[in-house]
């Protein structure tokens, strides 16, 4: 099994609900709390497993805003694990989830240096490294109804931009979406082979934003408007 | 990368300590300049060990959870950081045994054997320190074989400077030691010049490969956070190109030009001049190490809007 996320950049509206749901669930989860520093102060900051950035692709007028949620990619060749001197960072053999054992971490930051995706953040209050757990404490929870055994971010996304599943299984919904939509990995040249994939925005006909061309009826209306001078 | 003082002090101090020990051993092995007096040699060895120990200790100051530091020796099969720790700790018993025998000028064969093992461990540690940085694919300025090479050569160079000061202090013949310093100084200068040339030209990942949009210009609109984050604090550090230029100039001035001028000024080197050269070299090394961190640009900066690293 190779569990991970597939994120649809075509439909993500950039609402940050996934990040909030993640924080809400994980603050009391296995790696919680996710400390906040000055949450109501002048310089609010804190630990998040999921961060959403916003980009403009292309030049105006042929440009598009792309909202870009990022969390741990649960890489196949995860250097964050190999560089860890204490053995606190590990990758589960069964499902490929990358986790940090909070009881072993010495807070050296080395794994965060080795992660290209900015997925790891040190919690100053515990002095340990924290990162996305793929909600390991809910996806296997037999007490939950089957459809709720998914990461909090996936469940909450109002645009259904996030999918969770086994990317090793070619018949899974996530694998099929990656195949059909040309899903891709970030920074492939670094060789981490991230599990999470991104679906690119669909190609749409460009919406004209330049000089508006009037049809015959519109021209008549314009003329009438000019004559009547409201 | 944020240049943390504890790590800069650690790498410079322990590098100097290991270099000093190795060259002290070489001087003993080849009886360089007739060899150093036994007590001077042992005390220099102790200075080397103290530098290494002090450096290692300071490296634990940047840990956020030092109570688990002992676990850092466990993953030596995969982690260069763990290897560095294992080699560094293994160095101490051999080095201390060597120093004890050097003090009594006893059992030369056993002493040289122990010293040899300590040297191999010193080299292994210096190499591991370099590899801690060089193995990171996320930072192109570090991901080059020039990095461990520079750690080895600069450590030996600053060690040689200290050894020269010792020979001047005890009044031993210093000609051989001066040549040693000059040779290492040249190697260090050439290596760092090559490195600066190499990392000065952009290559590698861009904001396009980071986001996957490789056929259009990509521009950051919003980072999504209101204030700083762990990522911006740890990786967001920037140093301007003018400042970079002057810091490189300072390295070549303090670590290369000043010691070279003092060693080649024509008259016999006085203790004061030797000490001045050593202080200048180590100061230059501090600048070099600060820049080594400050200049390194982690790929995560691409997601925060940098067009390239
Ligand atoms: S995204 Fe970063 S933290 Fe997650 S597995 Fe990959 S390298 Fe490790
Ligand atoms: S911060 Fe913790 S998990 Fe990361 S490398 Fe250091 S010990 Fe390992």
Question: Residue A106 CA: which ligand 2 atom is closest?
Answer: 7
Q: Ligand 2 centroid to B130 CA: how many Å? A: 19
State whether the beta carbon of A115 lies less than 6 angstroms from ligand 2.
no
Of A54, A122, A184, the CB nearest to B221: A54
The ligand placed nearest to the CA atom of residue A110 is 2
State whether the beta carbon of A108 lies less than 6 angstroms from ligand 2.
yes
Average pLDDT rounded to a whole number, residues A108-126: 96
**A207, pLDDT greater than 80:** no
State whether the beta carbon of A130 lies less than 6 angstroms from ligand 1.
no
- Which of A178-187, A205-214, B293-302 is predicted least confidently? A205-214
Average pLDDT rounded to a whole number, residues B98-114: 92
What rounded mean pLDDT belongs to chain B? Answer: 94
Q: What is the residue whose two structure tokens read 């002493």?
A: B111
pLDDT tens figures, A162-179: 999 999 999 999 999 999
Residue nearest to atom 2 of ligand 2 (CA): A105
Q: Do A58 and B210 touch (CB under 8 A)?
A: no
Q: Can you name the residues that pair with A162 across neighbouring β-strands? A: A7
Query: How many CB atoms within 10 Å of residue B115?
Result: 25
**B36, pLDDT greater than 90:** no
> Residue B171: which pLDDT band, with cuts at 50, 70 and 90?
confident
Non-local CB neighbours of B249 within 8 Å, separated by 6+ positions: none
Angle between helix B146-170 and B271-294 (nearest 10): 160
8 Å CB contact between B139 and B297: yes
Q: Ligand 1 centroid to A194 CA: how many Å? A: 8
8 Å CB contact between B117 and B94: yes
Task: Put residue B266 in one of left, alpha, beta given phi > 0 → left and psi -120 to 50 → alpha.
Answer: left
Average pLDDT rounded to a whole number, residues B137-151: 97
8 Å CB contact between B18 and B101: no
State whether the beta carbon of A73 lies less than 6 angstroms from ligand 1.
yes
Q: Do B299 and A187 touch (CB under 8 A)?
A: yes
Among A31, A61, A86, A186, the strongest candidate for a mutation testing the B interface, having the largest count of B CBs within 10 A, is: A86
The ligand placed nearest to the CA atom of residue B73 is 2
Model pLDDT, residue B266: 76
CATH number (3.40.50.620, 1.50.10.20, 3.30.70.20, 3.90.228.20) of A3-205 reads 3.30.70.20
> Residue A97: which pLDDT band, with cuts at 50, 70 and 90?
very high
pLDDT tens figures, B188-200: 999 999 999 999 8
Q: Does B54 touch chain A (CB under 8 A)?
A: no
Model pLDDT, residue A203: 85
pLDDT tens figures, B259-297: 999 998 878 888 999 999 999 999 999 999 999 999 999
Residue nearest to atom 4 of ligand 1 (CA): A72
Q: Does B232 touch chain A (CB under 8 A)?
A: no
Structure-token pair, residue A191: 């060789």
> Residue A144: which pLDDT band, with cuts at 50, 70 and 90?
very high
Average pLDDT rounded to a whole number, residues A113-138: 96
Name the residue of A48, A84, A131, A190 whose CB sits within 8 Å of the most ligand 1 atoms, as the mutation to test its pocket: A131
> Residue A230: which pLDDT band, with cuts at 50, 70 and 90?
low
pTM of the predicted structure, to 2 decimals: 0.92
State whether the beta carbon of A23 lies less than 6 angstroms from ligand 1.
no
Residue nearest to atom 4 of ligand 2 (CA): A111
Q: What are phi and psi of B226, to 5 degrees?
A: -85, -35
The ipTM is 0.93
- In chain B the first and final C-alpha atoms are separated, in Å, by 12
8 Å CB contact between B97 and B117: no
Model pLDDT, residue B101: 94
Average pLDDT rounded to a whole number, residues A95-109: 96
**A204, pLDDT greater than 90:** no
> Residue A78: which pLDDT band, with cuts at 50, 70 and 90?
very high
Structural domains of chain B sorted by starting position, each given as residue range(s) with its CATH number in brackets:
5-304 (1.20.1630.10)
Model pLDDT, residue B297: 95
Per-residue burial over B218-231, b = 16 or more CB atoms within 10 Å of its CB, e = otherwise: bebeebbbeeebbb
The ligand placed nearest to the CA atom of residue A129 is 2
Long-range contacts of B107-115 (CB under 8 A, 24+ apart): B111/B28, B112/B25, B112/B28, B112/B29, B115/B25, B115/B28, B115/B29
Average pLDDT rounded to a whole number, residues A112-136: 96
pLDDT tens figures, B58-78: 988 889 999 999 999 999 999
Q: Do A48 and B234 touch (CB under 8 A)?
A: no
Average pLDDT rounded to a whole number, residues B229-241: 93
The domain spans of chain A are: 3-205
Using DSSP bridges, classify how beta strands A3-8 and A197-199 pair: parallel, antiparallel or unpaired. Answer: parallel
């Amino acid at each position: 099994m190779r569990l991970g996320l597939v994120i649809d950049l075509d439909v993500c509206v950039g609402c940050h609900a996934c990040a909030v749901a993640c924080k809400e669930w994980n603050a009391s989860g296995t790696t919680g709390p996710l400390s906040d520093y000055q949450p109501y102060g002048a310089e609010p900051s804190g630990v998040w497993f999921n961060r959403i950035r916003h980009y403009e692709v292309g030049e105006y007028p042929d440009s598009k805003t792309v909202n870009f949620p990022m969390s741990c990619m649960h890489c196949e060749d995860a250097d964050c694990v190999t560089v860890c001197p204490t053995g606190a960072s590990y990758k589960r053999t069964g499902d490929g989830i990358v986790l940090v054992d909070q009881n072993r971490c010495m807070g050296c930051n080395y794994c965060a240096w080795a992660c290209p995706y900015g997925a790891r953040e040190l919690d100053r209050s515990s002095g340990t490294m924290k990162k996305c757990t793929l909600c390991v404490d809910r996806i296997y929870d037999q007490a939950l109804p089957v459809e709720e055994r998914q990461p909090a971010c996936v469940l909450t996304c109002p645009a259904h931009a996030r999918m969770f599943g086994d990317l090793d299984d070619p018949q899974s919904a996530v694998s099929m979406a990656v195949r059909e939509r040309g899903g891709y990995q970030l920074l492939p040249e670094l060789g981490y082979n991230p599990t999470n994939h991104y679906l690119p925005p669909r190609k749409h006909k460009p919406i004209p934003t330049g000089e508006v061309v009037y049809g015959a009826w519109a021209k008549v209306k314009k003329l009438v408007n000019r004559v009547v001078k409201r | 990368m944020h240049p943390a003082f504890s790590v800069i002090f650690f790498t410079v101090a322990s590098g100097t300590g290991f270099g000093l020990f190795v060259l002290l051993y070489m001087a003993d092995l080849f009886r360089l300049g007739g060899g150093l007096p036994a007590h001077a040699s042992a005390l220099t060895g102790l200075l080397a060990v103290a530098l290494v120990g002090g450096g290692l200790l300071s490296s634990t100051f940047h840990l956020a959870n030092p109570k688990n530091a002992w676990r850092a020796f466990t993953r030596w099969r995969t982690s260069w950081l763990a290897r560095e720790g294992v080699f560094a700790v293994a160095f101490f018993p051999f080095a201390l045994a060597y120093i004890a025998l050097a003090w009594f000028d006893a059992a030369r064969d056993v002493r040289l054997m122990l010293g040899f093992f300590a040297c191999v461990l010193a080299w292994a540690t210096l190499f591991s320190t370099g590899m801690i940085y060089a193995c990171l694919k996320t930072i192109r300025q570090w991901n080059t074989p020039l990095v461990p090479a520079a750690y080895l050569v600069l450590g030996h160079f600053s060690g040689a400077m200290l050894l020269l000061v010792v020979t001047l202090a005890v009044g031993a013949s210093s000609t051989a030691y001066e040549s040693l310093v000059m040779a290492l100084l040249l190697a260090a200068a050439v290596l760092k010049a090559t490195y600066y040339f190499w990392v000065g030209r952009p290559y590698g990942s861009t904001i396009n490969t980071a986001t996957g949009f490789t056929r259009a210009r990509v521009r950051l609109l919003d980072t999504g956070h209101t204030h700083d984050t762990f990522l911006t604090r740890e990786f967001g550090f920037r140093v301007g190109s003018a400042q970079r230029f002057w810091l490189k100039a300072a390295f070549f001035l303090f670590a290369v030009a000043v010691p070279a001028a003092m060693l080649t000024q024509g008259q016999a080197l006085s203790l004061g001049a030797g000490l001045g050269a050593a202080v200048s070299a180590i100061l230059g090394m501090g600048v070099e190490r600060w820049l080594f961190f400050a200049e390194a640009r982690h790929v995560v900066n691409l997601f925060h809007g940098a067009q390239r690293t």
